[in-house]
Structure formats: structure tokens, C-alpha cells
Structure 1
Amino acid sequence: MPHPATVVPEIAPHLKRLLDFVDPQPGDVCLDVARGRGPLPAVLAPRVRRLTAVDAARDGRAFRTGPIRMPGDSLPAPDAPSPRADEAVHETVRADATALPYPDGSFTLVTARFALYAPGAPHDVLRELLRVRRPGGRLVLADLVRGNLAGTSRDRIERLRDPDHPGIPTIGSLTDMVTAAGATIRRLDVFTVERPAEPWLADAPDPDAADRVREELLDEVDGGPATGAKPRIIGGELWFTQTWAHVLC
């Protein structure tokens, strides 16, 4: 049953889209794996029987998006729920996503938001997520992708910002990896979002690299070479575009 003291926060449109895709059930025993403390556990916890949130960040750097715009949004939507919503999470632990400390088939629902590629071993992370998923249960992956015909310019920008970035997979390579692991894809949702550039650049290990990326994005806004990030100015701030995918298997 939902936690009796839980206050369910107002949910940003992009997070509600993921929540609707996940379709949590009151009887679910859920595991959420994320890089840092993301917003998904707080909105999932009131809707499931029990939720364990795993922080799998190896370097202490959480995945933070800042405000998000989706097609049709009139205003940017924040990525994080209200602070009180975090009280709904039943358990939060630190763990290695490639070696989760749970027996096989422990969870009816497993979610991973921007955590599959972060440790640099996506096949091992996927293996673990599938291992702890109960037979007949659901695994939902939410991650960055690029179009199957997209060039490598978008990856170049990511690696310029962070040389250790694992790269953005194509939609096809992500779905192929899932099926190669023995899972069946039941649903797929691919869509575009816009994010402010400054929170993303603030996570760059090297400020000089962040400056070079910023210069390239602003140069494109002024008519310079395309970076693949489709930057533009919104409300006096620099924003850029990403493609996100939700995969149910």
C-alpha cells in the first residue's frame, strides 16, 4: 500500500510521460537504478508496494537535467519533485549497477533512468537489471539515444565536454542490445527534449572543454557549423536538444 504520510508532488510533463510509460501497480516491488538521486523514485514510491532506490554513481556525479522543454510545452518544467516527496522512498542504497546486491528475480518492476551507459559497461548493467527482474516482471530503460541515421557529430560534442563519455547509442543499437540479452521489447517511446546548456556544461570535468563546447553551440546559433545539438536561445539562455527513449522489456 502507498506510504500513508506521502505527499505526491506535481509532476513535470517529461517525468509524467515516463511514469505513464512505466505504469506502476500497487502490488509492485520496485527497484530504481540511477546515477545519483534522480526524481523518479519519489514519484514511483507512492504508487507501488515497496521501492528501493539505488544510487549507482561511481564518480559522485549525478545526472542532472535542469529544466526541460518538450514539444508543446509553454514553459520549461523542473526535473526534481518537491523535497517532501523524497520521504516516500522506502530505501536508498549505494551499489554497483554491474553487481547489484539482490537475489535473482527480486523485483516485479525495475527502472533505470540514464544509468545504463553511465558506468561504461552497459551490457553488464543490462544483465544485472534483467537478472533481478522477476519472471513476468517489467524492466523500463530511459536513456539518451540518437537516430539510426544520425551522424557522429552529436557524440563528438559529448566527448569534447567529457572525454570519458560512453557515447550516445543509436536507437537500433540500444534495442539490439536488449534483444541480444534475451529480453523482448514490448514498447518503445522516442521523443525530443530541450535542456539548458549551462547545467550540462557545469558537469564537464574540464572548464576549458565546457568553454569550447559553449563557443561551438553559440557559433551554430549565429549560423556556424552544425553540432548536432540544435542549440537556440530561449529567454536569453542557451539551450540544446537531446533525444530520449523509453524501452519496456
Structure 2
Amino acid sequence: MPPTTANRRRTVVSPHVARLVDFAEPSPADDCLDLSCGPGPLPDALGPLVRHVTAVDGTPLSPPGAGPDGRTPTVLFGRSRLHVGALDTPTVRARATALPYRSAAFTLVTSRFSLSGLGDPAQVLREMARVCRPGGRLVIAEVVRPSGYGREHDRLERLRDPAHPGTPTLARLVELLSEAGARVRGIERFNVERPLEPWLAAAPDQNGVERVRHALVDEIEGGPRSGARPRVISGELWFTQTWAHLTARV
């Protein structure tokens, strides 16, 4: 992909979305399906770069008290006003585990931070592989468990969202893609430091957010380590997540 592509999009999407778009290497010949929990920024970022993009919202019905889409919007992680890109691509509501599309309908199938909220991740990936044409690509972005952390890391996630199934390891994502019939061809793993409050504001269960704050402050003061590496920047709590991008051929 020409290096100018992401730069053109960077004015309307966050740097993190631009990075994923570069990783996906979209082509003007691609027919793309994006599968997400709620409306997300990726379809609009991919739209000008592919032949056609179909955006599917596979979010199950939200429980009472949940946020409007049950997830954190894409933001620029700064301390100023939050910026969320415009979302213009029409969205189709469908079950992620039984997509209403014929087999081999798309050449590029993407999902960003959504697998755990769409149903059984193994079945979701099988459906993504089914609707992807032989030789096409699956591209997923997910939060993965930091190396060396398990129970304590998942405890923080479940304080924020009691229904959270646990953060997968990178090895588990590779295994799930392989079981779905896809061959992993590229992996990008990196750490992202972000402010805590926007993440907590989108929590499905607001009852646990104060406990998350207390747990991270306790960690700063020498308490149990979660892998979140919290610190205070200009009076605000920040924490670190490990993100992974994976691309696989079908």
C-alpha cells in the first residue's frame, strides 16, 4: 500500500484505526465485510480504499443499563476533548454466528475489538472464514493478555464487565483462526497507553468502575500486578493494554 494512504485518512480517523488499515492492506478490488459490536470506525476508513464495504453490527440485545453500543468508541487518546470519527457507512444488523451472506462473498473480512461481544469467538471466526473467498483475508484486532498475567488481568476486565469472557492470549487467537480454516500470515503486537476514564465511561456495568479505579491505584502503590501498568499523568489515571493485529488467508 502506498505510504500516503494512511496519511490521507489520518485526519478523519484515529491513528490506531489508520494503523489497522495499513496492516489490512486493502485493495480497490476488495469486497469487504466488517463485523463489529455496534457502529465502528473501520468501515468508513476502509470505504474509499476498497470496491465495496458492508458493515454488520452483530451486537446481541443490550441488557438494561448497558451503554448504547456496549463498547468504547475510537478516540484520540489525548487529554483534550475526545474526537470520534464520523460514521457514515450504513450498518446491517445480523447474528455474527449466522451471517446472512453466501459463502465466499467477500475478499476481505475484518473485525475490530469485537470477538468477545459477538458470541462464541470460534463460531464467529468460522462464519468470517465461510463468507471469505478462497485466497481472501481475515483481519482482526483484539486486546490480548499481557505475557505473564492471567487471573489478575481478567479480574479487572470483569470488574468493568461481569460478562467479560476473559482476555485471550495471542496464541489462542492464532489457534482459533487455524481451527476456522484460516492460515495466519501476519501478526503485529504492541502496547497502547490510554486514559482510564473513557474506557470506564463505556463500561456495561457502572457498579464496578470505582473498584477498577481502586485496584489500579492499589497497583501503583505496590498491590497485585495486573499487567495494566497504571500511572498518573497530570492528575489522571492511565493504563496500558496490549493489542494485536492478525491477518490470515482462507
TM category (shorter chain) comes to 0.7 to 0.9
- Residue aligned with 1:166, SS: coil
Please tell me whether the aligned partners of residues 145 and 168 of structure 1 are also in contact (alpha carbons under 8 angstroms): yes
Q: Which residue of 1 aligns with 2:72?
A: 64
Show the 5 A alignment for 1:167-246.
167-246=166-245
Q: TM-score, normalised by structure 1?
A: 0.86
Q: TM-score, normalised by structure 2?
A: 0.85
Q: Which residue of 2 aligns with 1:53?
A: 55
- State the alpha-carbon separation in 1 of the partners of residues 140 and 126 from structure 2: 13
Please tell me whether the aligned partners of residues 97 and 119 of structure 2 are also in contact (alpha carbons under 8 angstroms): no
For structure 2, the 5+ residue unaligned runs are: 1-7, 63-67
Q: Which residue of 1 aligns with 2:138?
A: 139
Please tell me whether the aligned partners of residues 38 and 80 of structure 1 are also in contact (alpha carbons under 8 angstroms): no
**Partner amino acid, structure 2, of 1:80:** V
In the TM superposition, residue 37 of structure 1 has moved relative to its aligned partner by: 1.1
Q: Which residue of 1 aligns with 2:84?
A: 80
For structure 1, the 5+ residue unaligned runs are: 1-6
- State the alpha-carbon separation in 2 of the partners of residues 78 and 23 from structure 1: 28
In the TM superposition, residue 223 of structure 1 has moved relative to its aligned partner by: 3.4
> How many residues are aligned here?
234
In the TM superposition, residue 98 of structure 1 has moved relative to its aligned partner by: 0.7
Tell me whether 1:154 sits opposite 2:162 in the alignment: no
**Partner amino acid, structure 1, of 2:36:** A
Q: Which residue of 2 aligns with 1:38?
A: 40
In the TM superposition, residue 157 of structure 1 has moved relative to its aligned partner by: 0.9
**Partner amino acid, structure 2, of 1:54:** V
RMSD of equivalent CA atoms: 2.3
In the TM superposition, residue 190 of structure 1 has moved relative to its aligned partner by: 0.6
In the TM superposition, residue 248 of structure 1 has moved relative to its aligned partner by: 0.4
**Partner amino acid, structure 2, of 1:248:** T
- State the alpha-carbon separation in 2 of the partners of residues 46 and 93 from structure 1: 19
TM-superposition CA deviations, 1:53-107 (whole Å, max 9, x none): 11111125342155455xxxx98896732x3xx33x3x42111111111000110
- Residue aligned with 2:182, SS: coil
Q: Which residue of 2 aligns with 1:23?
A: 25
Please tell me whether the aligned partners of residues 12 and 78 of structure 1 are also in contact (alpha carbons under 8 angstroms): no
- Residue aligned with 2:136, SS: strand
